[in-house]
Amino acid sequence: MQINSLLDLGWNNHFQSQLDLESLESQLPFRVVSVQRNLVECLGFDQKDQQKTLQLSTYFWRNDPPELHPAVGDWVMVDHDLNPLRILERKTEIKRRGAGKESYIQLIAANIDTLFIVTSCNDEFNINRIERYLSIAAETNIHSVLVLTKIDLCQDVTPYLESLSGNHPELPVEVINATDPASLDGLGKWIDHAQTVALLGSSGVGKSTIINSLTASEDQATGAIRESDGKGRHTTTARSLHRLAGGGLLLDNPGMRELQIVDSEVGIKSTFPDIDALAQNCRFKDCRHISEPGCAVLREIEAGGLERRRLDNYHKLMSEQARNNESLAERRNSDRSLGRFYKQAKKSSQRFKSRE
């Protein structure tokens, strides 16, 4: 990835304002372009203003909670010996509750300007999943664009477009054939110079093919769609940042089977503004819109002005994020208690040794 300045990597006033004069003189900013299990790859400039690729061990962040580990898109400050010092405050972020039984937050990407939510014109299309992605993006004010792929394999895209316009009339939609470069021209207007765009979607919807077309490369492996169920094979295995010919930056994400929502109450309400607006007219301020008398939301459903599916998904996402927030809080309290125990045990051990 050839760059001429930090501005080409998305550096702006949000990050500049976090540095005082001393930091500017003694530290160098590098942007995270790839994260492997034990290795963080960054790009920036050394003291001689020469482009430099930096590989950092994740061991440096071993004592930090997972949400403070570097993610693709982060800005890491290093000293002049290229040792990591800190991660700058993120402008935006995409996160989820970590997969599995343990309660922790996993960062998917950081400092994203626009999110391409990629879905395809087949059985993979799911409006509930799209609303999940929209809620996650809206929580930190990431602009979203819906990218509808595989139109070459679909006889009529009208039902998909009608579903989107009926549920989210303000959501920009681009309809493409990812294997036809000319079909991707519409995506270009969402990728300004030094702007970072992320792709998010299930496996096999065409994300890697989009990247190959936009970058005019074969950096990302692609897999054929299965005719039996219309689903694609998982092709991308690691998150990575790509620089485009027009100066924009494109972040790819592996397809994720599970994207548990967390810390996203504001984002959910932003994705369902009609429900939030109706709720202002409910008889009770703490109305849950389930069976309460005088509920304006339920009244609108009975009148046919609000789809029941939409309220059901709203309830599902709100309940899920509340449940995940609670389990995360319990985990953090447990970690703090354990930390206090270790500190107390260490002090007791030191006092015992001093008496010997």
**Can you spell out the DSSP letters for 253-274?**
----S--B--S-HHHHHHH-HH
Q: How far apart are CA 93 and CA 107, in angstroms?
A: 7
Three-point CA angle 301, 302, 308, nearest 5°: 35
The alpha helices in the chain, defined as continuous H runs, are 13-16, 21-26, 127-138, 158-167, 207-215, 265-271, 273-279, 296-302, 308-355
Three-point CA angle 105, 203, 124, nearest 5°: 110
Q: How far apart are CA 27 and CA 4, in angstroms?
A: 19
Q: Report CA-CA distances (Å) from 260 to 64, 107, 207, 235, 319.
A: 21, 12, 21, 21, 11
Going by the annotation, the residues of the binding site for GTP are 149-152, 201-209
Contact 3, 31 (CB under 8 A): no
Closest CA to 217 of 226, 209, 225: 209
Contact 314, 275 (CB under 8 A): yes
Contact 132, 146 (CB under 8 A): no
Query: Dihedral (C-alpha) 128, 133, 139, 141: value to the nearest 10 degrees?
Result: -120
Contact 296, 111 (CB under 8 A): no
Going by the annotation, the residues of the binding site for Zn(2+) are 282, 287, 289, 295
Structure token pair of residue 345 = 């045990």
Q: Report CA-CA distances (Å) from 78 to 4, 34, 42, 72, 175.
A: 19, 17, 11, 16, 42
The values of phi and psi at residue 124, to 5°, are -70, -25
Q: How far apart are CA 101 and CA 350, in angstroms?
A: 36
Going by the annotation, the residues of the binding site are 149-152, 201-209, 282, 287, 289, 295
